[in-house]
Structure 1
């Protein structure tokens, strides 16, 4: 009986913490400046173990922020609370930490009618050993997950820049050659299970390397290699037409269409270099218009288009036209269930840690995605949680 009472108390305490965590997230998401500071804090805190150092880092980030409320309200949060907050946030959007938890989430998604796309979280690769570890993690993941899925069901996302630490935009062909060579083991493992991989889009300066990597791999492995186009890029239309030169009618290119995840970085870089204009649209309305245009133009040009969006208007526009709809884990399940009822396939994009690691390792990635996703949609999701 005492054990049961203790469990009830623990559950109540956990719920209280969860509500506080959601309230904190709502505040952060509504304050763009605080969100950017938290991205910097989360990235650095993952490498700190000393609580005093974590608290010092937090105060530095808060003191340099232009906040909408008094800094004293959050400046002296204890390290334990900061760590809890980061882990709470990470658990909400990281779908699996290690094989066991990843399999559990996959099974839960499948029961709801969703397919999944697995993305191993990781930021900058600093050495060739890091790049080899990244490749080997995917090969291991494929061999662990593949036998548990139907043939052709396995889907992953790859970050090209993580496959070669010395990638240089000034040498796109050489860099692409190195990346494609290292990716070969991944696609050979995928082929055994009939799987496919999307090459995740990255920063604008990497686009020529990215295009060359996709061209090499698609010519070798066909549509098991899939590409991603970002509609916030002013050059996205040109990329679409460049792809027509290599598209195979019998095995067409699959394109995941997204809005883009590096808007702040691209604008910052353009300003830093004194460019008259950034490579991205400044207005969200222009990005949204380009998204709709690119989707329909892609269909006209013979590509298989996949809408990756939580935008209700876009989803309604492409109902019946998109081969499937893709949504982020932690954000898209409720809307996805509605789409499935309309007989439209939904694939959940699942960020995971593999092998198991520290949840805060993925915090920079997650905060960047939240920064870039519609705030109103995220806030609604948090309030429903």
Structure 2
């Protein structure tokens, strides 16, 4: 391992990489106006292509919305009650708390207490609607008895949930609703079950499997996750023979393999996590599958790039094209990170994979910046700027296809159409979507573009108890707007809601950031 870490330290190529890393670090808190302004200026060169993409995306959205038969009940429910709305958040919070409450009596009290608290807290929006949202889900999952429906159809009060006849049914229905969510968003409870489902469902033939779970807290947790990844790689190695990018692969979360995965523990990370990752990467190379390192919070980016570099310099896997990482476009450093990855791939003599995502840790990154009293944030505070950054990063990836294999993870119709417009004819790349999301969009796109690039499914594996943290994190930038909402205003309202929520909970001592700065989003692309 030491040979891998020390390889090429004094070469000009290594010095160039160090210079790029220095630029990445220096851009961590770059002013948002400067970063987004440069991106908007670059994208004006593609104005005609982006206008064509806008028209194409509008057709796909209308087609997907018109085809009600292909959309499951859960999709329609999430359209009406997005997970970033007050109603959606209330449901997720209640369901997550219920999963941690095994005692039936206390579970009944919890349900009544949570809904009563929501009514008394003055949550924005129609409070009665907020409460009834839960019963939309309950009715779909639990098939409530007529007596219960009658009870809920009139003037509703949370205390009705504790009545002897109603409470057990409501409790069971909530648990069944989590199983419904689990089936929609989780491919299987084990990797073997997930692969079996993939063989039975053509839409799951090409996946990147994610072993559900949050970061390790102990060494025992880390070892358990490592064993799970090792078993998953072995199972994936049994797929039919094919090229790496034509087979299902695996996504790995670094914080699941090291309980002290922080910048302050960088020496420990290099000593313990790097060898563990090298073992798994070599195992994946022998199995002939993709091995992608998932992105996490902004303050862990530098650590993750150290691990990526150590794996890329391993001569034992140089001919393998499956090594990859996820890059989050909402980070102001994203274009510089892609420059560094391309230089690393070229310098190490290999082709690497990059999954481009918009980002999934916005709230926690903003909160940490506030707690530290930073002058600005490492991520964009405007979704418009994030969308523009994504397109600029897409251009970079398409221009570096000789050393990078692009994977565009998105459920946004305009983004999909823009990538198709920006990509040169015959370019090799793929799209990705989350399990349970975006299927109608890609069906509509494929109907108009028969030679649409492959669409890989990011497929979580685990139990429904492990679903909620993943679901809330992963859907943050993927909420389905209501048909009654104007798309641009919907995005602004969602951002404003997050900003108000963050501002209310932010430190207010002198010198600290009291909330999201009130700045106008970058000009919309014409």
Aligned to 1:195: 289
1:173–1:209 Cα contact (<8 Å) kept: no
Query: Aligned residues, how many?
Result: 357
Q: Is the CA contact 2:188–2:194 (under 8 Å) kept in the aligned structure 1?
A: yes
Post-superposition shift, 1:341? 2.7
1:227 positional shift: 0.9
The answer to whether the aligner puts 1:168 opposite 2:249 as a matched pair is no
Aligned to 2:379: 280
Q: What SS does the aligned partner of 1:139 have?
A: helix
Aligned to 2:438: 332
Query: Superposition pairs for residues 88-237 of structure 1, below 5 Å?
Result: 88-109=180-201, 111-112=202-203, 114-151=205-242, 152=244, 153-220=247-314, 221-222=317-318, 223-237=321-335
Structure 1 residues 60 and 266: alpha-carbon distance in aligned structure 2, compared to 1, 3 A threshold: farther
Which deviates more, 127-136 or 38-47? 38-47
Equivalent of residue 315 in structure 1, options 393, 398, 416: 416
Report if the CA contact (8 A) 2:83-2:476 is conserved.
no
Q: 2:389 aligns with which of 269, 290, 293?
A: 290
Shift of 1:243: 2.3
Gap change, CA 1:235 and 1:37, over 3 Å in 2? farther
- Aligned mates of 2:412, 2:76 — CA distance in 1: 23
Q: Contact 2:79–2:480 (CA<8 Å) still a contact in 1?
A: no
- Three-state SS of the structure 2 residue aligned to 1:326 is strand
Counterparts of 1:155 and 1:124, CA distance in 2:
21
Q: 1:42 to 1:157 in 2, by over 3 A?
A: farther
Aligned 8 A contact 1:128 1:165 in 2? yes
What CA deviation, in whole Å up to 9, does each residue of 1:46-105 have, x standing for no partner? 333112333444455441562522366454473222212222112111111224531232
- Cα distance in 2, alignment partners of residues 377 and 137 from structure 1: 39
- Give the TM-score normalised by the residue count of structure 2: 0.62
Residues 234 and 88 of structure 1, relative CA distance in 2, 3 Å threshold: same
Residue 80 (1) aligns with residue 172 (2): yes
* Matched residue SS, 1:97: coil
Aligned residue for 1:259? 358
Distance 1:123 1:58, change over 3 A: farther
1-side partners of 2:304 and 2:483: how far apart? 30
State the alpha-carbon separation in 1 of the partners of residues 197 and 482 from structure 2: 22
CA distances 1:193-236 after superposition (whole Å, capped 9, x unpaired): 21121101011121111111111112224442201110111121
Decide which structure has the larger Cα Rg and report it.
2
Q: Where does the alignment leave 5 or more consecutive residues of structure 2 unmatched?
A: 1-71, 135-157, 162-166, 486-526
| From 351, 376, 383, the counterpart of 2:481 | 376
Contact 1:309–1:327 under 8 Å retained in 2: yes
Separation in structure 2 between the aligned mates of residue 154 and residue 143 of structure 1, nearest angstrom: 12
CA distance in 2, matches of 1:100, 1:303: 30
Q: Once the 2 structures are TM-superposed, how far is the Cα of residue 125 of structure 1 from its aligned partner?
A: 1.4
Could you tell me which of 231, 236, 243 is aligned with 2:341? 243
**CA-to-partner distance for each residue in 1:155-192, whole Å, 9 max, x for gaps?**
11010110011222223353144222122332232222
Cα deviation per residue 1:100-129 (whole Å; 9 max; x = unaligned)?
5312321144x3585211111111311111
**Distance across 2 between alignment mates of 1:67 and 1:91:** 31
Match of 1:6 in 2: none
